[in-house]
Structure 1
């Protein structure tokens, strides 16, 4: 009884087994092909989904940054406008104050000129002060023109 099992099997059974093993080889090849194609499909769909989601996030982030930037620019513009208005008001006040000083110096100069005698030379001092005040007034007017 040490004969192989195959020796006792008839040739028709052996051919049936070889046909059956050929079918299993074909079906196992189909199974592997189906398995690998499924994995390829899963990986490809994962990559495609990742790319689409990344593009969606880029678009969303871009729109958020644009809205934040617009809000910041609007805030900066209003602050700049407020500062500019304050500066204009300040320059206008300074010009008005200097104009009042110039007028008072003119009055004082006219009075001094009328009452000056040959012994006093106060009028020259007033003329230099008046010239300095006029220079300052002209500078402020130029600054105001630049702001406009």
Structure 2
């Protein structure tokens, strides 16, 4: 009688063949699972990248809008100041012309008006430079 534990060479080959095919399937399963994991990580990374880019774009657009409105407000304020100074200069010019026409040898008001006019022109030039810088 043969003991039950002994196997014949044909049986051992079949067992090895079965074990070999199951090892192949096991390795194939893990290779596929690793591939799926790598693809999932890659897809998720791209999704996060797109979200970050869209958030940055929205923030940039919002900041640009704020800067644009601030710029327009400054330009408007400077334009109003320039118009006001131009009207002041025009008034001084009229007053200077009138004073020159009516000046006598005793008073020297025209020099004072020229000085004031010069100061106003300096302020006007400074405002024009600021407007040029803002443009």
Aligned partners of 1:97, 1:140: CA distance in 2, in Å? 10
The worse-fitting range, judged by mean Cα deviation, of 22-31 and 125-134 is 125-134
Report the counterpart of residue 100 of structure 2 in structure 1. 109
Query: C-alpha offsets along residues 76-110 of structure 1, whole Å, 9 cap, x if unaligned?
Result: 11110011001100111122122212222222222
Is contact 1:109-1:126 (8 Å) kept? yes
Aligned partners of 1:128, 1:35: CA distance in 2, in Å? 103
| TM-score, with length taken from structure 2 | 0.76
Matches within 5 A, 1:1-148: 8-9=1-2, 17-112=8-103, 115-116=104-105, 120=106, 122-123=107-108, 126-127=110-111, 129-130=113-114, 133=117, 136-137=120-121, 140=124, 143=128, 146=132
Segments of structure 2 that go 5 or more residues without pairing to the other structure are none
Q: Shift of residue 139 of structure 1?
A: 7.1
Runs of 4+ aligned residues of structure 1 deviating over 3 Å after TM superposition are 134-139, 144-148
Is contact 2:89-2:117 (8 Å) kept? yes
